[in-house]
Copies of this chain bind each other. A is one copy, B any other.
Amino acid sequence: MEFTVEQIAQLLGGRIQGDATTKISKLAKIQEGDGKSLAFLSNPKYENYIYTTEAGAVIVKNDFIPKSAVKATLIFVEDPYTCFTALLEQYHKTMLWSRQGVEEPCYIGATSSIGENHYRAAFSYIGNHCTLGTNVKIFPHVTIGDNVSIGNNVIIYAGVKICADTVIGNHVTIQAGAVIGSDGFGFAPQADGTYKTIPQVGNVIIGNHVDIGANTVIDRATMGSTVIEDGVKLDNLIQVAHNVKIGQNTVIASQAGVSGSTEIGKQCIIGGQVGFSGHIKIADRTSIGAQAGIMSSVTTEGEKLIGSPALDARSYFKSYTIFRKLPAVMKTIEDLEKKIISLSSEVK
């Protein structure tokens, strides 16, 4: 895409100095651009660059006065950095959502449908009886199994596996390599020491505005549904077991794991590498520090927990501070013992 400096200045509400017809097609740092680039100057310590930059245009502060000749067209605004990042975000979003059309070969079952403005990359696979909404972007090597339902404005990056029967809402982004709807880990011990597989016939339901990280795994329910509610953000390499429920707007950092049938409330903030036992409930607005181990339900809202097994954060750090000093504490105890022995002998 190409814009004139005039169009950009209009968008930013900026004043132009120089050639308003200069054509811009990309964003760059001031020290790296070429004639088609738009750069910005915010920090005065980079001012030198503006006199040598190859960029076609530079966004500068309203009060900027060049000390010598400037080749680039200038756009004067109140806050160049904010204007530039806003353009960058807009550009990024536009590029992403403008991806459209079908690359061959790709596969879609005869009984499946997909809405307008979709992108289906080469080697993407959609099974049968699937319904996909408008503005769905499917990258290479995505597998979508049978009976999957997907809403509108959904981005599914390369190599994501969405297994049969999964239901996904609107405005969802799934990063590369994530697996949604794999079989839950259910095995019944037999008398001879072997395990019998318990069929996993449930599914996964994902709400709206959910983000799912790369190589994260969400298992289908044994029966019923594993549920990820609206606004949940899951980082990379997270494990969500069968029949788990994660409440609205809860954020979970990388490599955390949630065991089967556990329910996490709304607006929780969970650190990286945290582990949850199965069949417990976590109250809304719980904060859990990285690497904590949550072995029992959390019933009071708004608690902060840390440690394994987890305690409330202040108690944990108090105890841990003493843990660090345990060798000195032992010394104190031994001294006390000696003193008592000596006292005893004195008394007797």
Known: A182-B214, A214-B179. A343 touches B336 (CB 8 A): no
Give Cα A143–Cα B122 distance, bound, in whole angstroms: 10
The number of chain A residues with a CB under 8 A from chain B is: 95
Known: A217-B215, A275-B290, A346-B347. A123 touches B125 (CB 8 A): yes
Q: How far is the CB of A63 from chain B (nearest CB, A)?
A: 25
Chain copies in the assembly? Answer: 3
Cβ-defined partner of A159 (8 Å) among B143, B193, B199:
B143
A177 near B175: Cβ-Cβ < 8 Å = no
Give Cα A158–Cα B124 distance, bound, in whole angstroms: 12
Q: How far is the CB of A291 from chain B (nearest CB, A)?
A: 5
Known: A194-B231, A217-B237, A340-B340. A259 touches B253 (CB 8 A): yes
> A219 within 8 Å of B by Cβ?
yes
Known: A141-B159, A255-B257. A217 touches B323 (CB 8 A): no
Q: How far is the CB of A270 from chain B (nearest CB, A)?
A: 12
Of residues A214, A277, A333, which shows the largest number of chain B Cβ atoms within 10 Å of its Cβ? Answer: A214
> A107 within 8 Å of B by Cβ?
yes
Give Cα A133–Cα B327 distance, bound, in whole angstroms: 58
Taken residue by residue from 197 to 221, chain A's Cβ proximity to chain B (1 for < 8 Å, 0 otherwise) reads as: 1010100000001010111010100
B277 near A275: Cβ-Cβ < 8 Å = no
Which residues on the B side are within 8 Å of A137 (C-beta)?
none
Of residues A141, A158, A183, A325, which shows the largest number of chain B Cβ atoms within 10 Å of its Cβ? Answer: A158
Q: How far is the CB of A75 from chain B (nearest CB, A)?
A: 20
> A249 within 8 Å of B by Cβ?
yes
Which residues on the B side are within 8 Å of A315 (C-beta)?
324, 327
Which residues on the B side are within 8 Å of A323 (C-beta)?
319, 323, 326
Which residues on the B side are within 8 Å of A92 (C-beta)?
199, 201
> A145 within 8 Å of B by Cβ?
yes
Cβ-defined partner of A175 (8 Å) among B139, B179, B215:
B179
B177 near A157: Cβ-Cβ < 8 Å = no
Least CB separation from A347: chain B residue: B346
> A161 within 8 Å of B by Cβ?
yes
Within 8 A of B (CB), among A219-242: 219, 223, 231, 233, 235-237, 239, 241
Least CB separation from A307: chain B residue: B308
Give Cα A182–Cα B219 distance, bound, in whole angstroms: 21
> A267 within 8 Å of B by Cβ?
yes
Cβ-defined partner of A157 (8 Å) among B93, B182, B193, B347:
B182
> A337 within 8 Å of B by Cβ?
yes
Give Cα A186–Cα B278 distance, bound, in whole angstroms: 28
B93 near A199: Cβ-Cβ < 8 Å = yes
> A105 within 8 Å of B by Cβ?
yes
Give Cα A92–Cα B193 distance, bound, in whole angstroms: 25
Q: How far is the CB of A95 from chain B (nearest CB, A)?
A: 9
A290 near B318: Cβ-Cβ < 8 Å = no
Known: A179-B214, A183-B175. A158 touches B161 (CB 8 A): yes
B123 near A231: Cβ-Cβ < 8 Å = no
Q: What are 11 A-B interface contacts by the 8 Å CB criterion?
A: A103-B107, A107-B123, A125-B158, A185-B236, A185-B253, A193-B231, A193-B248, A257-B272, A322-B330, A329-B330, A336-B337
Closest 6 CB pairs of A and B: A143-B158, A182-B214, A161-B176, A322-B326, A125-B140, A107-B122
